[in-house]
């Protein structure tokens, strides 16, 4: 068997092979077509945006008598099915995924976009003269190095709508913030940790403080097609982050609040003061101070730095001891999360109580 390096074939090449019955999309070792309409639309959106997709593996076989080549799709059948189906006007692009092409089938695209779609090139590896056993061995070796998907990566594979897009937009826009303040490191970001943290914060903003993983799947499903709170949530999220930057500046990464678990709590405390966390009566009535003055933020900073010193010195004060414990064990439990947020809120409210 000779395995060639990737070469490029256009969408139009695959459509031509399919029309001539020279493309075999379901060999015996492939799965059936299981992609949802949204998953198919997401792929078409990726192609229309000119973004790359994973390599496709094909095993060609030549029939000398008929002088034809049958191309058996070893990996990539669902991607190719989506492309062929879209070219036949069998589904439109979902509006929530692409506001410009949303609602349009292939025949409804402008001519220049149809041409761009047909000219899009896939990277293809040809497995020439490969037996079934050899093909299975190749993929067994590839899968040896595959990592188990994280919960966030599973959500990424299952949903394609407005809530997911909002999460990824906010997570991506704040990549430098996560990095510079040591809240997340690159190794974590590669596994979608920024999307996971953003999701957890949006859960708080929409439904209140929950036990870790509670409400997450529900929100991705419920708000996949329609996310009416999107504009408000995006504005409030950005405003809270901007306020934290004004308040803590470079000190954030040098304090305990640079730890992911305590940054979550700090964000919650500020969000409650500025907007009010729903369904969490344990935090008391929200101040709803949506715009905090620089003088007030300086007082809040001084108060939080005081909490930071007590934490780092392992103060024996009962409240601090409980706060430390809630930051180190069972950190995803609702009770522990509320305890941490209440503690931070106490220091923020102490600063707010001081007259300017």
* DSSP reduced 3-state for 4: coil
The Cα-based distances of 230 to 38, 115, 206, 235 in angstroms read: 19, 34, 10, 9
In whole angstroms, what is the distance from residue 88 CA to residue 18 CA?
Answer: 12
109 pLDDT higher than 70: yes
Residues 172 and 208 in one domain: yes
Q: What is the pLDDT of residues 228-286, one digit of tens each?
A: 999 999 999 999 999 999 999 989 999 999 999 999 999 999 999 999 999 999 999 99
Q: Does residue 159 share a domain with residue 251?
A: yes
Continuous H helices in 132-286: 132-144, 151-158, 162-173, 175-180, 186-190, 193-207, 216-222, 230-248, 260-274
Per-residue pLDDT band at 140 (split at 50, 70, 90): low
- On whether both 211 and 257 belong to a single domain, the answer is yes
What was the pLDDT predicted at 250? 87
Could you tell me if 94 and 120 lie in one domain? yes
Q: Is the Cβ–Cβ distance between 331 and 341 less than 8 Å?
A: no
Domain that holds residue 75: 2-144
Domain count, the chain: 2
pTM over 0.85: no
- Do 84 and 202 belong to one domain? no
104 plus 201 within the same structural domain: no
Least confident of 24-28, 54-58, 292-296, 315-319: 24-28
Q: Give dist(CA 125, CA 53) in Å, integer.
A: 13
Same-domain status, 160 and 305: yes
160 and 136 within one domain: no
H/E stretch holding 305? helix 294-312
Write out pLDDT tens, residues 46-101.
999 999 999 999 989 887 777 889 998 888 888 999 999 999 999 999 988 888 99
Return d(Cα 269, Cα 278) in angstroms, integer.
12
3-state helix, strand, coil in the chain (%, to 5): 55, 10, 35
Q: Which of 90, 120, 144 is the last residue of a domain?
A: 144
pLDDT tens readout for residues 167-211 = 999 999 999 999 999 999 988 998 899 999 999 999 999 999 999
């Amino acid at each position: 068997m000779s395995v060639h390096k990737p070469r490029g074939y256009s969408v139009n090449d695959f459509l031509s092979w399919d029309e001539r019955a020279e493309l075999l999309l379901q060999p015996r070792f492939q799965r059936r077509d299981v992609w949802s309409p949204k998953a198919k639309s997401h792929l078409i959106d990726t192609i229309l945006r000119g973004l790359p997709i994973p390599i496709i593996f094909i095993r060609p076989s030549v029939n000398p008598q008929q002088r034809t080549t049958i191309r058996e799709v070893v990996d990539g059948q669902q991607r190719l099915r989506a492309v062929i189906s879209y070219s036949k006007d069998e589904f439109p692009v979902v509006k929530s995924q692409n506001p410009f092409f949303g609602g349009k089938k292939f025949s409804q695209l402008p001519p220049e976009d149809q041409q761009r779609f047909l000219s899009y090139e896939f990277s293809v590896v040809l497995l020439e003269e490969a037996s079934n056993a050899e093909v299975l061995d190749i993929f067994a070796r590839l899968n040896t190095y595959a990592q188990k998907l994280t919960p966030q990566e599973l959500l990424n594979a299952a949903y394609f709508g407005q809530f997911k897009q909002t999460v990824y937009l906010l997570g991506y826009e704040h990549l430098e913030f996560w990095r510079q303040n040591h809240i997340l490191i690159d190794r974590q970001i590669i596994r979608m940790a920024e999307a996971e943290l953003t999701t957890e914060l949006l859960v708080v903003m929409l439904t209140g403080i929950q036990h870790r993983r509670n409400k997450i799947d529900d929100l991705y499903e419920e708000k996949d097609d329609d996310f009416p709170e999107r504009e408000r949530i995006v504005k409030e999220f950005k405003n809270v982050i901007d306020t934290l930057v004004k308040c803590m500046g470079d000190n954030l990464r040098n304090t305990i609040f640079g730890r992911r678990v305590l940054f979550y709590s700090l964000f919650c405390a500020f969000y409650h003061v500025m907007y009010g966390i729903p369904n969490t009566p344990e935090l008391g009535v929200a101040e709803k101070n949506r715009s905090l003055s620089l003088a007030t933020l300086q007082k809040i900073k001084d108060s939080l730095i005081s909490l930071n010193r007590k934490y780092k010195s392992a103060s024996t004060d009962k409240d601090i001891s409980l706060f430390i414990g809630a930051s180190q064990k069972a950190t995803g439990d609702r009770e522990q999360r509320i305890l941490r947020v209440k503690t931070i809120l106490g220091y923020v409210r102490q600063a707010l109580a001081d007259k300017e």
